[in-house]
Amino acid sequence: MKRIAIIGGGISGLSAAFALEQRRNTGAPLEYTLYESSASFGGVLRTERVEGCVVEAGPDSFLTEKPWASDLCRQVGLGEQLIGSNDGDRKTYILVKGRLIPIPDGLMFMVPTKILPVVLSPLFSRATKLRMSHEWFHPPHQADADESVASLVNRHYGPEMVEYLADPLLAGVYGGEASQLSVRAVLPRFADMESKYGSLGRAMLAARKKMPQGSSPPAPPLFTSLRDGMQSLIEIVLKRLPAAFLRPKTLVQALEPQDRGWLVSAGYDTDQFDAVIVATPATAAASLLNSAQSRLASELASIAYSSSVTVALGFDQKVRAALPPGFGFLVPRAENKRLLAATFVHNKFPHRAPADRALIRCFLGGSRDARILDLPDEEILRIVREEIRQILRLSAEPLFTRVYKWRASMAQYAVGHLERLERIERLRQQLPGLGLAGNGYRGIGVPDCVRSGQEAAEQVLAQ
């Protein structure tokens, strides 16, 4: 009987556990223990139901083009619950000098693919528009080394595109900064497009031409979620795992490699396993593995994490009618606000709010503003309401509010991240029976975390 410990009961650890459970169900001789330090499983996936609204405390959806989360939902019987974002109403605004300006049609993640809407948009100055037309003639460029997203975008479109699009987009997704994040780790497609075509615009159009034309099925929604909220995935996965294998409220303090297997210490208990999957944030993995392999621990500890705060504000029908259409807005740093982004949930996922409610989800913190986590909830609410009043001219009393703080929860893939992962992989292979999963490595989104858990399970089984 092979015994496996999984440390960390977020979506990464649960995905590893579910993969092992499936093997067990086909007769594989194995058992596992899933350790989670807090009272509940799921990590940052948490949903509340408030006044008929589905309020997401952490992630609200995942990218449809990455299949692993949707596939897991189908495997556990949640296929009927999958919902797509309401892309017919997709419109995102950027706050520019206090005004909300829509991102023009044809701008695909900061790459212009349609000339007219971009030329007519007040989002960019004439100088930037000129650079966009010159970009079309960039020759192929093979970068010798990794660089920041800001550096690549600056080379193609200039600093305004970095400040008003790249930076706010990355702050909204990673809680990070374009000047720090690695282009190869965060936007690998951009690095490939540049080396092949030079111009990102020409590369995007070439990719689009390759897509099937004519009577092809309509494009899938950009985002996928679950009708009853992201936490329903956690609840149903937990139901598929034997309760005897679950250890909530159990902080693992140390991992020690043995001649054969690993010792896992939690509180006064020490247990022997054949293999261990560490599915915690990389910083926690670093302290757990420090005595096992200090070089590996130091590489893991160098993966920085940012903290974030989400705030949910529920309003009535009058506010809903007065809010702009679209999915929400992003706030560039130059606007001197603490809000990084806000989503109009009732538009993005209409199933998440009754027809007479508006639900706004605000995002704060990130690597620029870690101090906000130290403020009391009332002060965070005061700041959010004041900035929402300024941006949306909205002073109505919310029907309800919620504040959620997520300390050191989002990995920052700094320049050189992929090289660091190669070193980590070499060091990991020196420790037989060790698997690593989580958002610190090859993707911060929920689908990549699911994949990382499944791959770690396969790895330790193969050894």
Q: Which residue from 5, 17, 34, 45 is in contact with ligand FAD, where contact means CB under 6 A?
A: 45
The window from 19-27, 34-42, 236-244, 338-346 that contacts ligand FAD (CB under 6 A) reads 34-42
Query: x/- binding map, residues 303-322, to ligand FAD, per CB under 6 A?
Result: -----x-x------------
| Residue 171 engages ligand FAD in binding (rule: CB under 6 A) | no
CB 434 within 8 A of CB 48: no
| Residue 44 engages ligand FAD in binding (rule: CB under 6 A) | yes
The window from 57-65, 77-85, 135-143, 382-390 that contacts ligand FAD (CB under 6 A) reads 57-65
Q: Which is nearer to ligand FAD, 86 or 390 (CB)?
A: 86
| Residue 9 engages ligand FAD in binding (rule: CB under 6 A) | yes
Report the C-alpha gap between 7 and 97 in whole angstroms. Answer: 47
The tokens for 237 are: 């996965």
The pair phi, psi for residue 369, each rounded to 5°, is -145, 55
The tokens for 430 are: 């020196």
- b/e map 153-181, b = 16+ CB within 10 Å: bbebbbebbbbbbbbbbbbbbbbbbbebb
| Residue 291 engages ligand FAD in binding (rule: CB under 6 A) | no
Report the C-alpha gap between 185 and 391 in whole angstroms. Answer: 33
| Residue 413 engages ligand FAD in binding (rule: CB under 6 A) | no
Write down the least CB distance from residue 42 to ligand FAD, Å.
Answer: 7
The window from 11-19, 73-81, 232-240, 387-395 that contacts ligand FAD (CB under 6 A) reads 11-19
Report the C-alpha gap between 374 and 417 in whole angstroms. Answer: 29
CB 381 within 8 A of CB 311: yes
- Binders of ligand FAD among residues 351 to 410 (CB under 6 A) are 406, 409-410
Q: Give the pairing type, strands 339-344 and 262-266.
A: unpaired
Report the C-alpha gap between 440 and 285 in whole angstroms. Answer: 10
| Residue 35 engages ligand FAD in binding (rule: CB under 6 A) | yes
The window from 1-9, 212-220, 294-302, 368-376 that contacts ligand FAD (CB under 6 A) reads 1-9
CB 251 within 8 A of CB 266: yes
Residues lying near ligand FAD in the complex (CB under 6 A) are found at 7-13, 35-38, 43-45, 58-62, 251-252, 279-281, 284, 288, 308, 310, 406, 409-410, 438-439, 444-446, 449
